């Protein structure tokens, strides 16, 4: 009986240690993820922009034709048709470069571009809900609301990454 009690106590102690270790491991991993999140967001932007930019360039004539039918921006269809995908690809390449400073510089226009897309999506969803966007690839299959939420999430993530990266730079400068 005494032996059994002793074994149970040992088992409980091992469980407690394991739980503490697991919690410690989990918190370490979460901290690692949180620290790496800004960089992950940067790479996410790079992936998104290379994907949509290349898709638009592959079907540039369709993209230009689609833009030409949009009121107000229609007159700049050719410029937008070539400019937006080229800018997206350029930003994607800059964001994927292994230099933190370049990443940080490229992240700003990337987030601003996302903001412009949100402005465009909001306008289109209010005034031309039956039209679909020429946003490239599977993103085109989203409806306006889903697309807007998707872009807003990316905008939020981008702002978070900018703030976090700037904070990290300040901390490094102080050290």
Partner 1 sequence: MRTQIKNLVKSALFGVAVLGGGLAANAWTGEKQADGHLVNKGDGLFELRSSVNPMDCQPTEPTPCNYQILSPENIPTQESYTAAELESFESNGWISPSSSNGVYQN
Residue 97 lies near partner 1 (rule: CB under 8 A): yes
Measured distance CA(110)–CA(91) in Å, rounded: 7
C-beta of residue 53 within 8 angstroms of C-beta of residue 86: yes
Residue 138 lies near partner 1 (rule: CB under 8 A): yes
Measured distance CA(43)–CA(168) in Å, rounded: 18
Measured distance CA(69)–CA(161) in Å, rounded: 35
Q: Residue 164 CB, nearest distance to partner 1 (Å)?
A: 17
- Options 20, 29, 65, 156; binder of partner 1; rule CB under 8 A: 65
- Options 41, 55, 104, 107; binder of partner 1; rule CB under 8 A: 55
Measured distance CA(159)–CA(22) in Å, rounded: 32
Q: Residue 173 CB, nearest distance to partner 1 (Å)?
A: 18
Residue 152 lies near partner 1 (rule: CB under 8 A): no
Helix, strand, coil distribution of the chain in percent, nearest 5: 85, 0, 15
Q: Which residues bind partner 1 (CB under 8 A)?
A: 43, 46-51, 54-55, 58-59, 61-62, 65-66, 68-69, 92-93, 95-98, 130-132, 134, 137-138, 140
């Amino acid at each position: 009986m005494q032996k059994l009690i002793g074994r149970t106590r040992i088992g409980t102690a091992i469980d407690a240690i394991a739980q503490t270790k697991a919690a410690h491991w989990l918190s370490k991993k979460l901290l690692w993820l949180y620290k790496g999140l800004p960089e992950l967001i940067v790479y996410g932007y790079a992936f998104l922009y290379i994907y949509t930019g290349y898709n638009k360039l592959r079907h540039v004539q369709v993209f230009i034709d689609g833009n030409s039918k949009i009121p107000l921006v229609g007159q700049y269809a050719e410029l937008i048709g070539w400019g937006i995908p080229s800018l997206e690809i350029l930003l994607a390449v800059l964001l994927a470069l292994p230099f933190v400073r370049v990443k940080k510089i490229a992240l700003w226009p990337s987030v601003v571009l996302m903001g412009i897309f949100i402005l465009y999506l909001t306008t289109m969803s209010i005034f031309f809900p039956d039209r679909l966007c020429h946003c490239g690839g599977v993103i085109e299959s989203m409806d306006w609301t889903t697309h807007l939420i998707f872009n807003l999430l990316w905008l939020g993530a981008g702002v978070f990454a900018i703030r976090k990266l700037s904070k990290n730079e300040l901390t490094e400068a102080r050290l």
